[in-house]
């Protein structure tokens, strides 16, 4: 595969004000994307964003670039990433663009693209956009310039879509639920979805100010949610990330329920209803506990490398419907075209209502292996992972773990980190092994 210069595993992302997240480059990116996409049909592109303060600047730059290429921009304002995927499909747009850095801090931002089918852009389209970026920026004739407009009912459309994925014979009446919207794009969406289905909602992370997105709230920091669930005596809590494509849940005792556990519950419920098609796609980060639990149920399981685009590719290749990352990206292809935190949470709630069991009880069929994940900040040009000392340390740990554990080292595709993951049956041993490998990685810088 041709190496990409700008696109990562999830679009173009970086720190605002530093290349490539600068107004001039984003303008050029909008123009380049417009040049490629204008060769297709409607010449209309949807643009949504999360609640970062930099979104105002970047959407203006994108609009200018798209207009120069002759495309019309339709703005939704703050909307979850999966909402843009859905609306791109329903509006028959050429593409959808989301201005977001997902779970990253407010000072980062990025640009994600969706195809007319509501899926991530195919590789050849991304490469075509990169090729256009190498050319001088031009402008179509004045009469052909793209116009811009706002879609005023985008939120309502998406709220109704989400509610439609919940079984029509069920409701959430009598359930007290705490919802953490991460001061992000779901702040005006998720509370309406769950309350309109009958739940008693306690909302947090619903006061975005441009810089508090993902700040001690959301999927990356659920401590406040855990505390509030217990204080409110709620049946469970739901946390979304800044752009709403991830979900992490909390049971009534305050225990974390991650993407692997959520996926297991959904898969088992699908099997119970008789509509499970094929197996489950996870990633190299998926907890071994899920693999073991699915095997006991007779459900096939396969791993791919980290990134929801790779989960999606394998699902399509196998003709399966359910795939996920433990970080909370859950893809349910019978309902959505990309990871959708709200829709995934609703399917877990359908299992809660349908079985009469608590979230804690629903998780009991899956025993999580202790897993230690360490992030080591690294922005150098070398590859510490392949150094002799790191490889020797890793091999030694793998030998000790045998078949009852795993070691994984990788560079993050979205942040300047080397990630070290060690998994095994004994938590104390796993922590010690992780410490050994982290030490070897740091010593190799």
Token pair recorded at residue 410: 């990788």
Please list the active-site residues.
102
Q: Which of 301, 335, 363 is the last residue of a domain?
A: 363
Assigned domain for 209 exists: yes
* Prior bond of 20 cis (ω within 30°): yes
Q: Tell me, what's the pLDDT at 445?
A: 82
DSSP string, 193-225: HHHHTT-EEEEES----SS-TTSS-STT--HHH
Q: Does one domain contain both 289 and 307?
A: yes
> pLDDT tens digits, the chain, 445 residues: what are they?
567 889 987 899 999 999 999 999 999 999 999 999 887 678 899 999 999 999 999 999 999 999 999 999 999 999 999 999 999 999 999 999 999 999 999 999 999 999 999 998 888 999 999 999 999 999 999 999 999 999 999 999 999 999 999 999 999 999 999 999 999 999 999 999 999 999 999 999 999 999 999 999 999 999 999 999 999 999 999 999 999 999 999 999 999 999 999 999 999 999 999 999 999 999 998 999 999 899 999 999 999 998 888 999 999 999 999 999 999 999 999 999 999 999 999 999 999 999 999 999 999 989 999 999 999 998 777 788 989 999 999 999 999 998 788 999 988 877 789 999 999 989 999 999 999 999 999 998 8
Q: Does one domain contain both 319 and 228?
A: yes
Q: Tell me, what's the pLDDT at 383?
A: 83
Nearest to 296 by CA among 321, 268, 258, 334: 268
Q: Tell me, what's the pLDDT at 413?
A: 72
Cβ 441 vs Cβ 420: under 8 Å: yes
Q: Which of 363, 380, 406 is the last residue of a domain?
A: 363
Residues 311 and 304: their CA atoms lie apart, in Å, by 6
Assigned domain for 187 exists: yes
Q: Does one domain contain both 147 and 32?
A: yes
Q: Does one domain contain both 131 and 173?
A: no
Q: Which residues pair with 77 in a beta bridge?
A: 48
Structural domain that includes position 192: 159-363
Q: Does one domain contain both 130 and 178?
A: no
Look up the CATH number of the domain holding residue 271.
3.40.120.10
Q: Tell me, what's the pLDDT at 382?
A: 77
Q: What is the total count of domains within the chain?
A: 3
Q: Tell me, what's the pLDDT at 8?
A: 85
Q: Does one domain contain both 252 and 346?
A: yes
Q: Does one domain contain both 314 and 335?
A: yes
Q: Tell me, what's the pLDDT at 358?
A: 98
Q: Model pTM?
A: 0.90
- 146, exposed or middle or buried, with CB in 10 Å at 0-12, 13-18, 19+? buried
Q: Tell me, what's the pLDDT at 302?
A: 97
Cβ 276 vs Cβ 286: under 8 Å: no
Q: Tell me, what's the pLDDT at 40?
A: 63
Binding site as annotated, residues: 102, 241, 243, 245
Binding site as annotated, residues for Mg(2+): 102, 241, 243, 245
Q: Does one domain contain both 309 and 394?
A: no
Supply angle C-alpha 222, 223, 224, rounded to 5. Answer: 95
Assigned domain for 194 exists: yes
Q: Does one domain contain both 129 and 218?
A: no
Cβ 31 vs Cβ 63: under 8 Å: no
Q: Does one domain contain both 264 and 309?
A: yes
Look up the CATH number of the domain holding residue 399.
3.30.310.50
Q: Which of 334, 363, 392 is the last residue of a domain?
A: 363
Q: Does one domain contain both 198 and 340?
A: yes
């Amino acid at each position: 595969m041709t190496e990409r210069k700008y696109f990562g595993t999830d679009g173009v992302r970086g720190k605002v004000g530093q290349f490539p997240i600068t107004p001039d480059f984003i303008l050029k990116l909008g123009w380049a994307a417009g040049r490629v996409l204008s060769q297709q049909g409607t010449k209309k592109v949807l643009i949504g964003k999360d609640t970062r303060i930099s979104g105002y600047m970047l959407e203006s730059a994108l609009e200018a670039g798209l207009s120069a290429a002759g495309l019309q921009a339709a703005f939704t304002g703050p909307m979850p990433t999966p909402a843009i995927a859905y609306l791109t499909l329903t509006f028959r747009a050429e593409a959808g663009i989301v201005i977001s850095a997902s779970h990253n801090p407010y000072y980062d931002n990025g640009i994600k693209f969706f195809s007319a089918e509501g899926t991530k852009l195919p590789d050849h389209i991304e490469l075509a956009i990169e090729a256009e970026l190498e050319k001088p920026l031009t402008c179509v004739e004045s009469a052909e310039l793209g116009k811009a407009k706002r879609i005023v009912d985008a939120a309502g459309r998406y709220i109704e879509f989400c509610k439609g994925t919940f079984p029509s014979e069920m409701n959430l009446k009598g359930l007290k639920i705490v919802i953490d919207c991460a001061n992000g794009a779901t702040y005006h969406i998720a509370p309406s979805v769950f309350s309109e289905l009958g739940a008693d909602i306690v909302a947090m992370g619903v006061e975005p100010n441009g810089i508090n997105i993902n700040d001690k709230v959301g999927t990356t920091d659920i401590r406040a949610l855990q505390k509030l669930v217990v204080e409110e005596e709620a049946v469970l809590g739901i946390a979304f990330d800044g752009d709403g494509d991830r979900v992490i849940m909390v049971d009534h005792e305050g225990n974390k329920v991650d993407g692997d556990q959520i996926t297991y519950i959904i898969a088992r419920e699908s099997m119970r209803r008789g509509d499970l098609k094929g197996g489950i796609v996870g990633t190299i980060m998926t907890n071994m506990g899920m693999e073991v639990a699915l095997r006991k149920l007779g459900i096939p399981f396969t791993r791919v490398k980290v990134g929801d685009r790779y989960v999606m590719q394998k699902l399509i290749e196998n003709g399966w419907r359910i795939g996920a990352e433990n970080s909370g990206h859950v893809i349910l292809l019978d309902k959505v075209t990309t990871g959708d935190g709200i829709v995934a949470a609703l399917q877990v709630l359908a299992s809660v209502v349908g079985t009469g069991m608590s979230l804690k009880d629903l998780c009991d069929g899956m025993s999580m292996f202790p897993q230690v994940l360490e992030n080591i900040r690294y922005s150098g040009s070398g590859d510490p992972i392949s150094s002799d000392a790191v490889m020797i340390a890793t091999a030694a740990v793998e030998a000790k773990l045998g078949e009852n554990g795993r070691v994984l080292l990788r560079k993050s595709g979205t942040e300047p980190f080397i990630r070290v993951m060690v998994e095994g049956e004994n938590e104390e041993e796993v922590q010690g092994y992780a410490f050994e490998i982290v030490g070897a990685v740091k010593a190799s810088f």
